[in-house]
Structure 1
Amino acid sequence: MKIHMLAAATLAMLAAAGVHAAPPEQAPHARVLQLDSNSDGVIDRTEAAASTRLAARFDALDANGDGRLQREELRGARKGHGPRGGHRGGHRHAGIDALARLDTDGDGRISRGELEAANAAREARAGADPKRAARTGHRARPDLLAQFDAIDRNRDSLLSRGELRSWSEAQRPQREAEMQRRFDERFSAADLNGDGRLSRVEVDEKMPRIASRFAWLDENGDGVLERNELRPQRGR
Structure 2
Amino acid sequence: MKRWIGLAAIPLLAGCQTMPFGGDPAFRDHDTDGDNVISRQEANTSPRLGKHFARIDTNGSGGIDPREYAAAMTYIAGIDFKRVDINDDGVISRSEARAMPASLKEAFARVDTDGDDNVSPAEYRAATVNLLEGLDFATLDRDGDGVIGTDEAHRVPELRASFGRIDTDNDGLISKKEFAASQR
TM-score, reference length from structure 2 = 0.32
Structure having the larger proportion of residues in strand = 2
Where relative contact order (Cα < 8 A, 6+ residues apart) is larger, the structure is 2
TM-score, reference length from structure 1 = 0.26
